[in-house]
Amino acid sequence: MSVVDNQAEANQSEAISAGDGPTMPRTQRSNPLRDPGDRRLPRVPEPCALVVFGVTGDLSRKKLLPAIYDLANRGLLPADFALLGFARRDWGDGDFESLARKAAKEHARTGWDEEVWERLSGNIKFVAGSFDDDMAFDQLASTLEELRASHGIKGNAAFYLSIPPTMFPVVLKQMERTRMADNSTAGGWRRVVVEKPFGHDLPSAKALNTLVDDVFTADDVFRIDHYLGKETVQNLMALRFANQLFEPVWNANYVDSVQITMAEDVGIAGRAGFYDATGAARDVLQNHLLQLLALTAMEEPVEFTADAIRTEKLKVLRAITLPADLSAYAVRGQYEQGWLAGERVRGYRAEEGVPADSKTESYAAVRLGIDTRRWAGVPFYVRTGKRLPRRVTEIAVLFKKAPHLPFSHTDTEELGHNQLVIRVQPDEGVTLKFGSKVPGSMMEVRDVSMDFLYGEAFTEASPEAYERLILDVMLGDATLFPRNEEVEASWRVIDPLEAFWQEQEPEPYRAGEWGPKGSDNMLARDGRSWRRP
């Protein structure tokens, strides 16, 4: 039994005694036969505060505040919980409460319940100030102290840095100065949540890691890659390691290639400043796509714990190889004006705030290898792009063709590779594609699909990634958070790509099409083609 489970157990009884805890029947909670390591039962964190820096930002309004409401609505917040906002606004608690209410009402996943909000809103506080304002941070520290007495938060606090990375140093220094990061004096745990991007390249990621590790102990640092919070991504581990069916064929003997796609129909959605300095490879490939690749390719962890899983992912990330010929197997593109869902959309360079001669890519694709016995020789094609025909993220494992077919060539003309496709989003689920006889007197074999759809198989809706991840931070469960070594290993893959691309113009593609021609050519060179998801 892990510490986390012990804590969850203790918290549940606390929540019960406060009369405000999870909705589980009391008999179930006190059942002496219950396995305390059973994670199917709600895990409720210890009393704590969540401090959010950058509360007025997009991420906070669209994801964090709604996720906190959803957690409250699901009975998963501790009875003694406080939400603290910090921003440069001349606001009082009430102003922040209104912003949070509006954000939650607009973006929450679960239905609106005024009573839930009333309970939560009594615990919402705001501290006004800029990041270089010592007085404001002193006030934040004393507010936390007051909450310990008034709200019973016991010195437990998580600090969510929903701010540009350039602001990290000053905020971390303030936390160090005011000893807010110090869990030895706080009398409870102190954790920090860092949003991606974790740096811009390997040296800056290392500098950032050193900075964070100077202020917080390594176990108290939670780096968010929200893709790991998605149910379908976690299901990848269930699919691979809870079943006997797939693992025997999950290797170079049977797998022809793997395609990982994260396509978006949206453009840069008003984030020109961030996006133009970042580009698709740093924004998505370095983190989301390499994490999906690591989960797809990793060995079975010795146990289902944060350390064991992260160790296996790290081994994969370290074994990734780039193609020798980057000009043939790495493609970056930039969208031009085009049509999407019947609407004319502007090109990347015409987006507000983007320089007219920008060389930033909105599409990136590359062929990667993994130098291990399991994967030697199997290409992993990964791609991401904005303004593609539709929003879809999937991992497709394409199997080798049968070594011998006892049918005539014309019988199997339309038979492709067997495929296992993990649909991360939307239409969450798994598709298995294989050949089947077409009904009739002839022996004609054609591809058919067998589908598992989350929406049909389960009555319970999947939580939003941020609900799961915020809850895990409060529980101290780091399973779904990349370790700094993973971040650094990922930059080791991306840095040479960026260096290669630096001087090149991205290849144009029309908005609403599946990326630049060069990307199709890349696969054609290997006698393959991209799946049309």
Q: Dihedral through CA 278, CA 279, CA 281, CA 285, nearest 10? A: 80
Is 107 among the catalytic positions?
no
Please give the residues from 390 up to 409 whose contact with ligand BG6 meets the rule CB under 6 A. Answer: 393
Residue nearest to ligand BG6 (CB): 283
User: Counting contacts by CB under 6 A, is residue 14 touching ligand BG6?
Assistant: no
Nearer to ligand BG6 by C-beta: 241 or 274?
274
Set 151, 200, 226, 288: catalytic member: 288
Buried b (16+ CB within 10 A) or exposed e, 415-443: bebbbbbbbbbeebbbbebbbeeeeeeee
Shortest Cβ distance from residue 503 to ligand BG6 (Å)?
Answer: 24
Listed residue (250, 533, 289) closest to 378, CA to CA: 250
Q: Which is nearer to ligand BG6, 269 or 448 (CB)?
A: 269
The answer to whether 136 touches 177, Cβ cutoff 8 Å, is: no
Residue in 9, 70, 283, 498 binding ligand BG6, rule: CB under 6 A: 283
Report the C-alpha gap between 271 and 286 in whole angstroms: 19
- Please report how close the Cβ of residue 386 comes to ligand BG6 at its closest, in angstroms: 7
Task: Give the count of beta carbons closer than 10 Å to the beta carbon of residue 328.
Answer: 14
Nearer to ligand BG6, 162 or 412 (CB): 162
Nearest approach in angstroms of CB 372 to ligand BG6 is: 28
Window 342-381: contact mask with ligand BG6 (x via CB under 6 A): ----------------------------------------
Q: Which of residues 79 and 161 has its CB atom nearest to ligand BG6 in the complex?
A: 161
The pair of three-digit structure tokens given for residue 224, joined into one six-digit string: 């968010």
Given candidates 9, 46, 220, 264, which one binds ligand BG6 under the rule CB under 6 A? Answer: 264
Backbone φ and ψ for 49, nearest 5 degrees, come out as -115, 145
Closest distance between ligand BG6 and the C-beta of residue 297, in Å? Answer: 21
Distant-in-sequence, close-in-space partners of 400: CB < 8 Å, separation ≥ 6: 254, 255, 256, 417
Q: Cβ of residue 466: shortest distance to ligand BG6, in angstroms?
A: 9
- Give the pairing type, strands 429-437 and 445-453: antiparallel
> Do 474 and 50 meet the contact criterion of CB atoms below 8 Å apart?
yes
Instruction: Enumerate residues 298-317 that contact ligand BG6 by CB under 6 A.
Output: none
Alpha-carbon dihedral angle through residues 326, 331, 332, 338, given to the nearest 10 degrees: 160
Nearer to ligand BG6, 174 or 393 (CB): 393
Give the total of residues touching ligand BG6 (CB under 6 A): 4
DSSP for residue 229: G
User: Which residue numbers are catalytic?
Assistant: 288
Task: List interacting residues with ligand BG6 (CB under 6 A).
Answer: 264, 283-284, 393
